[in-house]
Chain A
Amino acid sequence: MQFRHERLANGLDVIAEISPGALSTSVGFFVRTGARDESDSLWGASHFLEHMVFKGTHDLSADEINRRFDWMGAAANAFTSEEDTVYHAAVLPDQQEQAVSLLARMMRPALRDEDFRTEKLVILEEIRMYDDQPPFGADDRCRAAFFGGHPLARSVLGTVDSVTALTVEAMRDYHRRRYAPGNIVLACTGAVDFDALVESARRHCGEWDPLPPPDRAVPPTARPPGGRSTVEAITRPAAALEYAVRMSAGPDGADDDRFPAKVLAVILGDDSGSRLYWSLVDSGDAEHASLHHHDFLDAGLFATQLSCDASDVEAMLARIVDLYVEVGRRGVAAAELEQARNKLAGRVVLAGERPRRRLFGVGLEWARAGRYRSVADDLAIVEGIDLDDVHRVLARWPLHGPSTTVLAGPHAAASL
């Protein structure tokens, strides 16, 4: 694998991880914008805009975009998170130019009034769809409570009210500011013709107005509510199970302890073979119990997710906290660490074989840190983590420490 990088005069970064023998090429535009970059009056705009990008440009209709992706046999899609908006397509290598040029043109959408009105209906359906599904909004509500006044408190989808209130004028202004070339990375993985990629980027993106990259609000208070644990509830009387999301502080995206934090999460709360698995899931006491570490630019958190019988939820949460107290006191065993490292290494190798999986790792890392890490680099990081690293994470961010918990289900109201 070979890595290449070139920056256009207007600031657009073009990067590629080239695997000459690969059977496919993946292309992505990574825009450094997401829910944290919105204001109250723009809540939901990043995600709504992601949909509008597929509704066409001044000389391409939405139907034409859909037809072109299907015509080139592309697996194309997009997603929006708190910090990134990503448009991606996986194609056979002979379609590289078609995929790059179509995605590039889409980055300058028409944002027509009529499309805005119709697509708003689709977004409102998407919000209702998620609201009907487990964990019934407990994840968004927990993040809001955990982050309080910080921009990371905002949910990606927005609410029915915030999306209803959005105007197309505000979205056009948001797009103009946030989709500046210096705020976008064009990334490619797999069988990439890098010279052709740069040439295509110049042709389709070179004329983009070189606005300065926008500022991103990084308030110094990026931390959970201090010292005090909180519990909130969402009542869903008809739900079969009770769902709980619990968040506590963890290392942020600039802290090297984020790597051992992820290993710790595998040891304690991976979907199988972890401490939570053996204690709660294998026994049939809970439908699901897991722990994950999430990191953002200036904040990080550990998220525990639980689903179980409504009448058991307090007991199960208490059992989880007991496990966290126990690991804080006694640490983890060498054998547990070894198993977790091997699991992660296996995942890195398998994901590394698929250009469409590599695209996200390569593109997001560059968008966030302007840095490239190969599969071998990732493996070296996993293999270099030792017990001291994991125990330092436990000491710096005690899992049994102050936390924010949100319950959703039939029992939620009664339990408070």
Chain B
Amino acid sequence: MKQTLFSATLDNGVVLVGEELPGLESVAVAFHTPAGAVHDGPERCGLATLSGEMMLRGAGDRSSREVVETLEGAGVQWSQAVSTSHASFAGAMVARQLPAALPIYADMLRRPRLEAAEFANARQMVLQNLAGTEDDPSHRAMSALRQLHYPAPWGMPSEGISTQVEALGVEAVREFVAHNVRPGGTIISIAGRIDWPDFVARAESLFGDWSPGAATAVPTGPRGPRFRHVPHDSQQTHIALAWSAPPYRSDESYEASAALAILGGGTSARLFTEVRERRGLCYSVSAGYQTLRDHAAAVCYSGTSAARAQETLDVMLGEIGRLPGTLTAEELDRVKARAKSGLVMQQESSASRANAIARQWYHLGKVRTLADELARYDSITVDSIEAWLAANPVRDMSVVSLGREPLEVTHAVSA
């Protein structure tokens, strides 16, 4: 498949990456600034999320409401999110709207008003969202799992902690934005129906005179305990497991994610087959690979009635333990087929591609071509996965149960 990729770096460090997707009418653009939750700081969990919200609430000569109405009036599907590593502002639109949309995003990054008058509402909105996540059992379980698995602050919940958000003031937001929203580490990605030279020229004029600032160091702390039970008044008990995996930039991440796909990636994967299809123990069960820049995880999840949760956990652990030495070529072929068709179908969505190429730049400092990616998948063999599994036995597993009663996990910790 023909693929047209571009990249450029402005003098101040802003990286531009692009992919032309023939046949699309749309274009998607995403601005990822290095103002993620990892920079929240002690006792300020939620500061990045609150700052991201404030950056939307008025920028340049537009009020909060004018920002949204201008974007939506142009038919831009906009979004804003704060992850562990980045604050991201994105939009997907019919290509002719791009010249009108770009300056609004430039204002959000470079000239957010951060007005005191908006602050109370923004903080209240963040607190409302936090309360909403309290009612979502699977979200709570996975959030608790990340806190156990990753060393602080990499596992802290980006949505924040209520008591800490309540104590934040507008000055903290202004300081956070001044330190962390900066050209170095900012990635602007664009995909779809693009005119690359025109885009570079516009980006140069909007961001070229943005003064660089120093990167903020992130001191990495210790990991949490290996097991936590989260009391929750629910009929189901939710089980979340994690153990270490190589980060995406490591070449072995392909073997790791293939092994996890065989364990729990599709409906023919082992967990779905053994836990749901054979035993009817649950509705949802899966395994997958998650990565930050320097840390990654193998993650398994299931939710089931309290009375059947122990059996579900035991079967999951049994399948995890059974994986080394038992992989088959047929299983690997199915994993490769799924990965390949997923990569190709991603080319049908400008927004998916804009995110994918930015993610690759963050992790690798380059965009991998589709051909390279497919070739790397082709090079995975049963032997290469087995070798990786043998060299990286599952240990130090983090276990979260969420529900009315804790589970018995001595077996899990020694798995």
Contact = CB atoms under 8 A, between A and B. Distances in A.
B129 A353 contact: no
Interface stretch (B7-15, B104-112, B178-186, B341-349): B341-349
A355 B348 contact: yes
Contacts of A76: 267
B128 A67 contact: no
Interface stretch (A117-125, A222-230, A360-368): A117-125
Interface centre among A21, A62, A338, A350 (most CB of B within 10 A): A350
Given A72-B337, A308-B128, A343 B68 contact: no
Contacts, number: 191
Interface in A258-277: 272-273
Contact of B131 (A72, A309, A346): A309
A23 B349 CA distance: 11
A91 interface: yes
Contacts of A354: 348-349
A76 B272 CA distance: 15
Nearest to A353: B24
A133 interface: yes
Interface residues of B, number: 76
B92 A128 contact: no
Interface in B76-129: 76-78, 92-94, 120-129
Contacts of B68: 272-273
Contact of B283 (A72, A125, A282, A347): A125
B160 interface: no
Interface string A60-92: 001100110111111110000000000000111
B163 interface: no
A355 B348 CA distance: 8
Interface size class of A (residues with CB under 8 A): 35 or more
Interface stretch (A3-11, A285-293, A297-305, A392-400): A285-293
Contacts of A405: none
B408 interface: no
A134 interface: yes
Interface of B: 1, 22-26, 64-65, 68-69, 72-78, 92-94, 120-129, 131-132, 134-137, 232-236, 266-269, 272-273, 276-284, 303-305, 330, 333-335, 337-342, 344-345, 347-351
* 7 closest cross-chain pairs (CB), A and B: A284-B124, A73-B341, A346-B75, A121-B280, A238-B233, A240-B134, A73-B337
22 contacts: A21-B23, A22-B348, A54-B267, A66-B277, A67-B268, A70-B338, A76-B267, A92-B341, A124-B305, A128-B235, A128-B236, A133-B136, A134-B136, A238-B233, A240-B131, A240-B132, A241-B128, A283-B121, A307-B132, A309-B131, A346-B75, A349-B94
